[in-house]
Chain A
């Protein structure tokens, strides 16, 4: 199973763009990269998923370089409500298991 590495914590201010990078050096050919957001005492919530290049939805963008050994979640103009833990996960295409890393604890300041 691919292991992911992320910064443990980040601080940002309201209105700024936040980029969180995740390293997944042993990603397999069929693996997708998925990012989740988790608030205290809640289950993780799906944010965005991608395989390569760039994916954008209404809440975030995901940038994946050609070698796919890393990915960057970009949150435009964060607000206080974006304070949460963000997890980068690489799915196992055989068992569909996720192994969670530390996640990144994002704190948005006023």
Chain B
């Protein structure tokens, strides 16, 4: 199947700093990517849709100024958590649909811990 990577796989930062997470589609192009967050023992929650060449679309309740998304190329989307606080600590996962849009492939996830 198609491969989606994320970097870093885990990050620890101090409260108030910003953290950037990269999502790459390694063997296919993705004009759209999705960002999720997942708290322990809970399901994935869709945060936003990343669109190559245009602004991201955020789900209700997600602060667009706090979670900055940039889809700079057909293989790369980045999520920047600005002014991170301990409550932002979570598991962040990206996904990308392949040319057959009904199928999405997920990245391995990034564990963010804010101290």
Contact = CB atoms under 8 A, between A and B. Distances in A.
> Which size bracket describes the interface of B in this complex?
20 to 34
A91 B49 contact: no
Interface string B30-65: 001010100000011110010000000000000000
A43 B101 contact: no
Contacts of B95: 43-44, 98
* Most chain A CB atoms below 10 A, which of B34, B44, B91: B44
Interface string A70-110: 00000000000000000100010101111111110000000
Given A97-B49, A101-B43, A103-B43, A42 B104 contact: no
**Chain B interface main SS type:** strand
Contacts of A102: 43
Given A41-B109, A42-B108, A44-B106, A100 B45 contact: yes
Contacts of B32: 96
A98 B109 contact: no
A96 B99 CA distance: 11
B76 interface: no
B102 interface: yes
A91 B111 CA distance: 26
Contacts of B4: 43
Contacts of B49: 95, 97
Interface of A: 31-32, 34, 36, 41-46, 49, 87, 91, 93, 95-103
